[in-house]
């Protein structure tokens, strides 16, 4: 005879393991099942192997969702400071890298080990690899049919994450279960993902592969699904298109078919446009080559590429017509370019969209339609900015759910 669990958590990743540990330590009988041979693989590969586990400034403004208010309760009840306390209690050394992003000094594996230890402290049972064959509700109970037998529980927590990186076991299982029980699913889309361009749009830039430059970037639009954004971050030019933090952030807001806008001079103290006017009207520079003038504003290789784009390479500034100067200024400070697409699920860090927050209770992460059916982590229509916010959502949504199961 199998016992009845208080909760069965499907998915032993960031949200699932964390939720299990908290619930177990509250005295709940919890079982975690995962189809993977190794648990927490996304945590292990995150942050370049160092796991950007939270962000000091994580707050509702760092998340995209059709309902931006949904995250508020969970983030307030389990803020970044609480997870930092947990990390400190395990003596995991960490550092702040950039804009509040906290990374392990040594290895992301320490975070996985910590989550598994927390589960052990809560007497959580963990079984993997296990294939979940079906999930059904029978009266007040949930029946989880697996290749290792049937398990019964009062609650079931869907924590199978999002679709990025299928090679390490990502699946749409939580979304399938949501649909099975009549919950709405916001169409998933790769986010925090490099953007690709047609050969024509990218001509001249592909020779600059490997170059990383600070820029200002605008993406999305006011009326679009997740609105508009502006970020000052680095762009990385690659053989396949544009990447780096600026592009990853912009990709989450990008609307297919619409351009993104780049200010290549945004790192300067003044706005790029003001700096441009100053330098372009400086009489002392009249006899200098255009690419030399531009190189005082940006890396030499990029300066040369822009001068070439305007057919001003090798020409003295005095030879540039008013129209040439205007074109160059526009190119440097408001470069509008239409991405052809994204590099897709293989290269995305997170999923945009997911289980509709309209159908979930923000205090408990439970379906409004089904007692005991919860969704946490990335499978919910909540997507964080780059910088530790996605893990913070995994912890916060897991914590909220753990109080309710
Ligand atoms: P997660 O993916 O962690 O866990 C899901 C679990 O469910 C997995 O163990 C999986 O095996 C299991 N599963 C899937 N389908 C199943 C099925 N059908 N049956 C049973 N089990 C199933 N975020 C951040 O904040 N800081 C960072 O540094 C990074 N870095 C980063 C790098 C890369 C390369 C990627 C791809 C992603 C990141 N992220 C990140 C995002 C972060 O990894 C992600 O948001 C969280 O892991 C989401 O946690 P979940 O628990 O929701 O899913």
Q: What is the CATH number of the domain that holds 25?
A: 3.50.50.60
pLDDT at 122 over 70: yes
| Residue 401 backbone phi and psi in degrees, to 5 | -65, -40
pLDDT for residue 269 = 67
What is the reported pLDDT for 1? 47
Residue 396 phi/psi, 5° resolution? -65, -45
292: three-class secondary structure by DSSP = helix
Confidence of residue 275 (pLDDT cuts 50, 70, 90): confident
Nearest residue (by CA) to ligand 1, atom 31, is 46
Same domain, 179 and 297: no
Q: Which residue in 144, 133, 158 sits closest to 15, CA to CA?
A: 158
- Is pLDDT of 86 > 70? yes
The predicted model gives 105-134 an average pLDDT of 98
The answer on 105 and 16 residing in a single domain is: yes
Determine what percent of the chain is predicted with pLDDT higher than 90.
82
The reply to whether 79 and 140 lie within a common domain is yes
Q: pLDDT value at position 209?
A: 92
Ligand 1 pocket test: which of 390, 392, 393, 402 has the largest number of ligand atoms within 8 Å of its C-beta?
A: 390
Domain of residue 246, residue span: 195-342
Do 127 and 199 reside in the same domain of the chain? no
Q: Is the CB of 14 under 6 A from ligand 1?
A: yes
Helix (H) or strand (E) holding 277: helix 272-280
CA distance 201 to 250: 18
Q: How far apart are CA 28 and CA 15, in angstroms?
A: 17
CB 30 within 8 A of CB 20: yes
Minimum CA distance residue for ligand 1 atom 40: 46
How far is the C-alpha of 371 from the C-alpha of 369, rounded, in Å? Answer: 7
ipTM over the 0.85 cut-off? yes
Residue 2 DSSP label? P
User: What is the CA(348)–ligand 1 centre distance, in A?
Assistant: 11
One domain, residues 315 and 381: no
The answer to whether the CB of 36 is under 6 A from ligand 1 is yes
Q: Are residues 155 and 178 in the same domain?
A: yes
Is the pLDDT at 47 greater than 70, yes or no? Answer: yes
**Same domain, residue pair 358 and 251:** no
Under the banding of pLDDT at 50, 70 and 90, the label for residue 202 is confident
Whether 132 is in the pocket of ligand 1, judged by its Cβ within 6 Å, is yes
**Is residue 141 located within the same domain as residue 112?**
yes
Ligand 1 pocket check for 165: Cβ under 6 Å: yes
**Rounded Cα–Cα distance for residues 160 and 172 (Å):** 8
In contact, 315 and 240? CB cutoff 8 Å: no
Q: What's the 381 CA to ligand 1 centre distance in angstroms?
A: 14
Mean pLDDT, residues 349-353 taken together: 97
Domain identity same for 110 and 175: yes
Q: Strand, coil or helix: what is 3? A: coil
- Pair (142, 230) in one structural domain: no
* % residues pLDDT > 70 (the chain): 99
Give strand pairing partners of 214. Answer: 234
What CATH number is given to the structural domain containing 215?
2.40.30.10
Q: What are phi and psi of 342, to 5 degrees?
A: -115, 170
Q: Distance, CA 248 to ligand 1 centroid (Å)?
A: 17
Domain count, the chain: 2
Please indicate whether residue 35, judged by its CB atom, sits closer than 6 Å to ligand 1. Answer: yes
**What is the distance in A from the centroid of ligand 1 to the CA of 235?**
25
Same domain as 263, residue 369: no
Cβ 244 vs Cβ 233: under 8 Å: yes
> Closest ligand 1 atom, CA of 42?
43
Same-domain check for residues 113 and 179 = yes
Atom of ligand 1 nearest to the CA of 11: 7
């Amino acid at each position: 005879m199998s016992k009845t669990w208080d909760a069965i958590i499907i998915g032993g990743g960031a949200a699932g393991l964390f939720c299990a540990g908290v619930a177990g330590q509250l005295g709940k009988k919890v079982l975690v099942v995962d189809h993977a041979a190794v648990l927490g693989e996304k945590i292990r590969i995150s942050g370049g192997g160092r796991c950007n586990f939270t962000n000091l400034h994580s707050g509702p403004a760092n998340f995209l969702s059709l309902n931006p208010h949904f995250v508020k309760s969970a983030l307030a009840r389990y803020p970044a400071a609480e997870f930092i306390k947990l990390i400190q209690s395990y003596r995991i050394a960490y550092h702040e890298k950039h804009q509040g992003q906290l990374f392990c000094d040594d290895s992301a594996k320490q975070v996985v080990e910590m989550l598994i230890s927390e589960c052990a402290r809560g007497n959580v049972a963990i079984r993997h690899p296990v294939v979940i064959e079906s999930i059904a509700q029978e009266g007040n109970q949930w029946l989880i049919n697996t290749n290792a037998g049937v398990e019964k529980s009062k609650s079931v927590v869907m924590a199978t994450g999002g679709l990025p990186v299928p090679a390490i076991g990502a699946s749409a299982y939580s979304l399938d279960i949501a649909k099975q029980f009549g919950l709405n699913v916001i169409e998933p889309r790769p986010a925090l993902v490099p953007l690709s361009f047609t050969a024509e749009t990218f001509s001249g830039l592909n020779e600059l592969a490997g170059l990383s430059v600070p820029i200002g970037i605008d993406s999305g639009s006011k009326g679009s699904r997740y609105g508009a954004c502006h970020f000052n971050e680095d762009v990385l030019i690659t053989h396949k298109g544009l990447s780096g933090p600026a592009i990853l952030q912009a990709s989450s807001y990008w609307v297919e078919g619409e351009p993104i806008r780049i200010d290549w001079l945004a790192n300067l103290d003044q706005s790029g446009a003001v700096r441009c006017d100053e330098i372009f009207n400086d009489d002392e520079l009249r006899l200098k080559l255009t690419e030399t003038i531009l190189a005082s504003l940006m890396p030499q290789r990029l300066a040369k590429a822009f001068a070439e784009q305007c057919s001003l390479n090798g020409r003295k500034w005095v030879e540039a017509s008013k129209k040439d100067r205007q074109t160059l200024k526009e190119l440097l400070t408001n470069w509008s370019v239409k991405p052809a697409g994204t590099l897709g699920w293989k290269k995305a860090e997170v999923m945009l969209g997911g289980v509709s927050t309209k159908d979930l209770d923000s205090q408990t992460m439970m379906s409004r339609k089904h007692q005991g059916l919860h969704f946490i982590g990335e499978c919910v229509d909540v997507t964080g900015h780059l910088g530790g916010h996605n893990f913070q959502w995994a912890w916060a949504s897991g914590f909220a759910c753990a109080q309710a199961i």
